[in-house]
Amino acid sequence: MREKQALTTGEVAKYCGVNFRTVIRWIERGHLDAYKLPGRGDNRIPVESFVDFLNNNNMPVPEELDSGGHKLVLLADVDEVSTEIASCVRRAGWDLLVTQDPVHFGFLISQNQPAAIAITRPEFEESVRRVVRDGDHKEMLCISICGSGDGAQGLKDGWLHLRWPQDQQQFILQLTSNQAA
């Protein structure tokens, strides 16, 4: 776990390779969350907000600021099921990146080297399998989640196939056991 809960504008500037005044402008424009200390009014940026800012802007997260949790990249349509999946991922202590675009999904995988990926559209499974196979990726948990009436459950071709919402507990169990590993 991280020791620091918040960073100064100077620390953020150093991590980003910019002047501290640039960081103040990011705060003023609403790009970066911060709060002011009582008295002099110095800005403090919560580490979690700064890490989100880096991820949202495709900037590398320094190891010392990384929460140590795993990352999961989710390829899903915006619907109630994907919202439930995202909630489960976050409750399990994982960092989550979500996209609807298969090309952006591949980009997120290459940039973030996630410990797990999940898809809710089985038709993309084969192309995702190729991206994972052809890329220089470490061991990755691959999960295909389909609707309650579709698909088979279990491990097939290196993928964990789950039905939603029936297999929600198995999904959470898989994430928590994978995080301990």
The model's pLDDT over 127-148, given as tens digits with 9 standing for 90+, comes to 787 777 776 555 788 899 987 6
- Token pair 């999940």 in the structure block, residue: 118
DSSP state of 135: S
Per-residue pLDDT at 1: 36
Q: Give the residues across from 52 on adjacent strands.
A: none
pLDDT at site 124 = 83
What value, to the nearest 5°, has the Cα angle with vertex 84 and ends 102 and 145?
50
The number of beta carbons lying within 10 Å of the beta carbon of residue 159 is 20
Residues in the chain: 181
Instruction: Give the domains, in start order, of the chain with CATH numbers.
Output: 4-60 (1.10.1660.10), 69-176 (3.40.50.10850)
pTM: 0.60
Amino acid at 118: A
